[in-house]
């Protein structure tokens, strides 16, 4: 019973960390990385498809992404999707290749991105604390129903707290890495 609650909490906390990392990859650091375009969808024969399913996205150099559509007819749709994505990228088409030069980040933009990263990290911490709250509530319910003893409940709550502290530290570690990445350029 207690181990199930702890296992569920640990699994949910791992998912929270993964979600945070995914959010961080969407925040660009000035370096070209194909994951910057992961959230872009392109209209492909009437259906919305991820860009990675209609084109090859690769890094040409540190500040340029190269998009090569599988079909030449997709160039216009891909350009339109990139421009309307809100990433602030201006595609430059050369034949069947679309190049996306990433503009250098200004100091002001870096600070804005750091604020966004800190907000994402705070959301990650809140999610982890909510998982702790849910686990502790499940433990208290089990105690009320006399499925576990008070000592077991106290020990379980301590383990849940240690787990929470561990994952909060992991959020902090990811935050520091992303912050350093944003400010070092």
Say if residue 89 is in the same domain as residue 152. no
Same domain assignment for residues 6 and 40: no
* Greatest Cα pair distance in the chain: 72
Domain residues for 43? 34-101
Calpha distance 58→89 (Å, rounded):
15
In this predicted structure, the answer to whether residue 26 has a pLDDT above a threshold of 80 is no
Total count of domains within the chain: 2
Q: Minimal CA–CA distance to 100: which of 116, 81, 72, 113?
A: 81
Question: Strands, E, within 10-165: which ranges?
Answer: 41-44, 47-50, 55-61, 64-69, 92-94, 97-101
- The residues, any chain, with a CB within 8 Å of residue 49's CB and separated by 6 or more, are 41, 42, 43
Position 127 pLDDT exceeds 80: yes
Residues 47 and 21 occupy one common structural domain: no
Confidence class for position 140, pLDDT limits 50, 70, 90: very high
Q: Which residue has the tokens 């000035």?
A: 30
Q: In the predicted model, what is the mean pLDDT of residues 135-153?
A: 90
């Amino acid at each position: 019973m207690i181990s199930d609650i702890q296992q569920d909490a640990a699994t949910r906390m791992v998912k929270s960390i993964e979600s945070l990392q995914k959010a961080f990859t969407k925040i660009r650091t000035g370096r070209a990385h194909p994951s910057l375009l992961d959230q872009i969808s392109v209209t492909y024969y009437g259906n919305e498809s991820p860009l990675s399913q209609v084109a090859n996205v690769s890094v040409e150099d540190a500040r340029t992404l190269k998009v090569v559509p599988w079909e030449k007819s997709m160039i216009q749709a891909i350009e339109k999707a990139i421009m309307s994505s809100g990433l602030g990228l201006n595609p430059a088409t050369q034949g069947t290749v679309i190049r996306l030069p990433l503009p250098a980040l200004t100091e002001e933009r870096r600070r804005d991105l750091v604020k966004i990263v800190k907000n994402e990290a705070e959301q990650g911490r809140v999610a982890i604390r909510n998982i702790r709250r849910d686990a502790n509530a499940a433990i208290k319910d089990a105690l009320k129903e006399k499925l576990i003893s008070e000592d077991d409940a106290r020990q379980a709550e301590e383990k849940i707290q240690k787990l929470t502290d561990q994952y909060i530290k992991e959020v902090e570690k990811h935050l520091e890495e992303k912050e350093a990445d944003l400010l070092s350029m």
